[in-house]
Amino acid sequence: MSYPVDPEYLPMLGFLPRLDVSDAEAARALVRSMSAEDPMAAVPADISVERRTAPAADGSDIEVVVFRPERRIEQPLPGIAYFHGGGFVFGDAGTDVRVPSALAADLGAVVVSVNYRLAPEYPFPTAFNDCFAALTWLAGDNDLGIDPARIVVAGISAGAGLAAAVALAAREIGGPALCFQALDSPVLDDRLLTASATEYTDSPLWNRQNSIDSWCHYLGVDADRHRTSHYAAPARARDLAGLPPTYIAVSSFDPLRDEGIDYAQRLTRAGVPTELQLFPGTFHGSSGVFPQAAISRRINAEYTAAIRRALNSSATSTTLTSENHAESL
């Protein structure tokens, strides 16, 4: 099947490798080679990069990469917990630096990118636990200088699914208060029953079989899918009320498209302020592999702008609350 992708993508599609997630090690090697050839992966000059560790739930250490503006305009700064993509199987915070470092530069925020452990070596709930532990560390680590009223969870693909899961957990088990969740092409539903999940069997970069293999790695081949946790697949959550305001971006030729749209609709019905963007002519990960294209720049700009609006709104609300409190004294 041919897909009417954005015209700027067409000349580059022939150079796009075929990703096969069934072999985790081969997929990791392919993605590492693609990352090494990324001409736009440089960290902005005014952003410092520091590798640190956060304590995991099992007593081990989670590697995190902290991106921080070197010139601090204000103190404390907004904090963003960022989770990279990779189908739960590949990717790492040390090389996936373009988006989190750009967010730090564009938003004047401290961005903590989490190097959660990968499946199949570490199946669910390890990655989820790592991400939730890192968020808790981010919110409680005073030397990061983060404003507790302006904490965002963000991610792409599997990382966006992890961000959604962490937001659910923060609501349910008393985690840090979140002012926003920004979900780019989120992995949300292991059932893969939507029209897009069924139809896109040969879509560029990511297809139905990759989705199937990804979930098998993450949940385990023998997992009882009737009992899948909503912390693994957030679409399984029955109640979405009380979650933070949300931005969801989906691509038109993506097996994950419809589960993102469904989640946005359910959030809206639950009373959660939600913005949904569907970008025509795009496919899963297209803005990452072809970041120079105009539609890719628009995807990244809209994502950043949504977080900026949320941070500005939270800052205004905090100022008004402080002023009202002062007046009442």
Listing DSSP states for 265-297 in one string gives HHHHHTT--EEEEEEEEEETTHHHHSTTSHHHH
How many Cα atoms are found within 13 Å in the side-chain-facing hemisphere of 305? 9
- Alpha-carbon Rg for the chain in angstroms: 19
- Report helix, strand or coil for 78: strand
Are 69 and 77 in contact by the 8 Å Cβ rule? The answer is yes
Q: Of 113, 254, 287, 314, which one is the catalytic site residue?
A: 254
Residue 272, classified by CB atoms within 10 Å of its CB into exposed (0-12), middle (13-18) or buried (19+), is: middle
> Is 157 a known active-site residue?
yes
Residues, the chain: 329
**What's at 58, amino acid-wise?**
D
> Is 284 a known active-site residue?
yes
Tell me the pairing of strands 146-156 and 110-115: unpaired
Q: Torsions phi, psi of 216, nearest 5?
A: -65, -40
> Is 254 a known active-site residue?
yes
Q: Of 157, 214, 251, 314, which one is the catalytic site residue?
A: 157
Q: Of 284, 286, 287, 314, which one is the catalytic site residue?
A: 284
Q: Give the span between the Cα atoms of 329 and 319, in whole angstroms.
A: 16
Residues catalogued as catalytic: 157, 254, 284
